[in-house]
Amino acid sequence: MLTALIVAALLLLCVWVSDTPALEDKGRIVGTSISLTALGLLGTLLMARGRPLRVCLAALQLGPWMGVGFTVGYGVATLAWWDGNLNYRGIVTAMSLNAGALVAATGFTAATIGYFAVPAFVRRGAANLDVQARGTSPFRPEASSVWTLFLVAMAGHLARFGAGTVGFLSDPASALSTTSSSGAIFAVMTQMGVLATLIAAWRHARVRSPGSMVLLLMVSLSQIGIGLLSAVKEAGIVQLIAVVLGLSAFGRLKIRPLVGAALLTLLVITPLVTAYRQVVAVGATRLTASQVIDTVDLGAIISDTLGAHDSNTVGQPGSWGRWSRVGDVGIIVNQSPTPIPYASPTELLVGPVLGFIPRSLWPGKPVLDAGYQINQIYYHSPPSSYSSAAPTPYGDLFRHGGIPVVTAGMLLFGGFLRLVDSRHAGNGAPDPRVLFLPMLLFTAVVKQEADYVGFTASLLLTLVTYVVAARLTRSGRTVGP
């Protein structure tokens, strides 16, 4: 461990050295990318704790998955700056990229240290609480478990369509001021869908019957379609990930399905949603789901988008740059504490409090949308612009007090991931419900683009979803004495 910390310190030094004025822009970019990639790989292997990486990833160990996300989003994807500065309005350029990179590297290093700093008795306590939350009844492996979660999710989607809160198609002004408590209920219901896909894939990997394949395709494809109709690419991507992880669970991560999911994401889902959003966004407003169905030629969008790959649009900075996160940290770091002063660190305590107080008891509870705030404060956009920037946990922590706050916050973040990962028994477990919680946290942990406050505020809702889903899929008998 000491050797690893020394290597991490040297990699942090490399990030700092790559900011030397003697280097040209492309040299800075390559140096930063290599340093962050190496740091991410080091953290990934450390958090695998000596076990084969593919086994850890198949078991949905969030520590190693966070390392993979950092390696790609903060390391490899930094090369997107090679073809020119990305759209950060001149505030972040290749010449000023390293400040944000150093903050992200410091935060990731702190998270890795925090992952190993959790005492054994705390990990055992978390594992015992997890067993109690799931209940003493074993998992019900029949298709009825998939159908139960799937039907609950579909009911949630229908309720959202009726309420007009359908992903990107929702009214952005209303979403920022809503005081309804139904949104939390709908969120719990719809999140059951990805768990239905995960279990359907897990069952098919064991049953290998035509019926299990049909069920898997029906559950996953229908929800991918809903995600695309909602113009939320993450909703489609997470379904593909759930299929891959369900097929791989408690074994080794299957490479061919993973590559297939990656290609579908890059070549189909991402460009399709991008083109679709340009159609449904009308000025500062957006079309409703019913208006989309009535007026938008979805077939034309699909054919035009999929037929555009011969122009090499996927390789251009605008598309590849969407995966790079260093600039999102940099635009905050380069303007804090001057000319934009730090926000109060006490705001970081608001997230857990907001999560534990239901809106029914606090109708005026503020709506957290750090992306909208970042867009105004750091991108200097007008309030009428409802675009949402990516704060990242590192950037959000930095704007609340600089490097000390980043270090403290990410130490806690890494410790939390270790508690989630400690629920797994050995190299495998007979109960696939242990995968539910990391599956629900997967997108936030791997992408590392959401704000820290929003993540902590959503934890209670995520835990409620996990417990409800685990109880819905248990059998009628109990185990134990």
Rounded to whole angstroms, what are the CA distances from 313 to 22, 267, 268, 325? 33, 10, 12, 20
In angstroms, the CA 30 to CA 36 distance is 10
pLDDT in the model for residue 217: 96
- What 8-state DSSP symbol labels residue 346? G
With respect to residue 480, please indicate whether it lies within any of the assigned structural domains.
Answer: no
With respect to residue 330, please indicate whether it lies within any of the assigned structural domains.
Answer: yes
- Using pLDDT thresholds of 50, 70 and 90, give the confidence band for residue 97: confident
CB atoms under 10 Å from CB of 148, counted, come to: 18
Count of alpha carbons within 13 angstroms of residue 32, beta-carbon side: 36
pLDDT in the model for residue 22: 46
**Residue 215, token pair as written in the block:** 């069920």
Mean pLDDT for the stretch of residues 136-153? 88
**What backbone phi and psi angles, to 5 degrees, belong to 428?**
-170, 170
- The residue with greater pLDDT, 19 or 451, is 451
pLDDT in the model for residue 172: 62
Q: What is the residue-wise DSSP string for 367-412?
A: PP-HHHHHHHHTS---TT--------HHHHHHTTTSHHHHHHHHHH
Alpha carbon distance, N-terminus to C-terminus of the chain = 41
pLDDT in the model for residue 73: 94
pLDDT in the model for residue 383: 75
pLDDT in the model for residue 155: 95
- Using pLDDT thresholds of 50, 70 and 90, give the confidence band for residue 315: very low
Mean pLDDT of the chain: 83
**Residues 362-406 pLDDT 10s:** 666 666 678 888 888 899 888 777 677 889 999 999 999 999 999
pLDDT at 479 > cutoff 90:
no
pLDDT at 476 > cutoff 70:
no
Q: Using N-to-C axis directions, what is the helix angle for 62-70 and 436-447, rounded to 10°?
A: 20
Residue 340 CB burial class (10 angstroms; 0-12, 13-18, ≥19)? middle
| Top mean-pLDDT range of 83-92, 255-264, 417-426 | 255-264
Length of the chain: 481
Q: For 1-10, 43-52, 159-168, 232-241, which range has the lowest pLDDT when averaged over its residues?
A: 1-10
pLDDT at 481 > cutoff 50:
no
Percent of the chain beyond pLDDT 70? 82
Q: How many domains does the chain have?
A: 1
In angstroms, the CA 221 to CA 201 distance is 12
With respect to residue 479, please indicate whether it lies within any of the assigned structural domains.
Answer: no
Nearest alpha-carbon partner for 455 in 396, 377, 387: 396
- Using pLDDT thresholds of 50, 70 and 90, give the confidence band for residue 316: very low
Instruction: Provide the residue range defining the domain that includes 43.
Output: 2-472
**Residue 60, token pair as written in the block:** 């949905």
Q: Whole-prediction pTM value? A: 0.89
With respect to residue 477, please indicate whether it lies within any of the assigned structural domains.
Answer: no
| Top mean-pLDDT range of 79-83, 131-135, 237-241 | 237-241
pLDDT in the model for residue 468: 93
Q: For 218-232, 241-255, 309-323, which range has the lowest pLDDT when averaged over its residues?
A: 309-323
Strands 285-286 and 281-282: antiparallel
pLDDT in the model for residue 342: 94
Nearest alpha-carbon partner for 396 in 322, 460, 461, 331: 331
Mean pLDDT for the stretch of residues 177-188? 70
Mean pLDDT for the stretch of residues 342-347? 90
**Residues 172-182 pLDDT 10s:** 655 555 555 67
- The residue with greater pLDDT, 24 or 12, is 24
Q: What is the residue-wise DSSP string for 285-301?
A: EE--HHHHHHH--HHHH
With respect to residue 180, please indicate whether it lies within any of the assigned structural domains.
Answer: yes
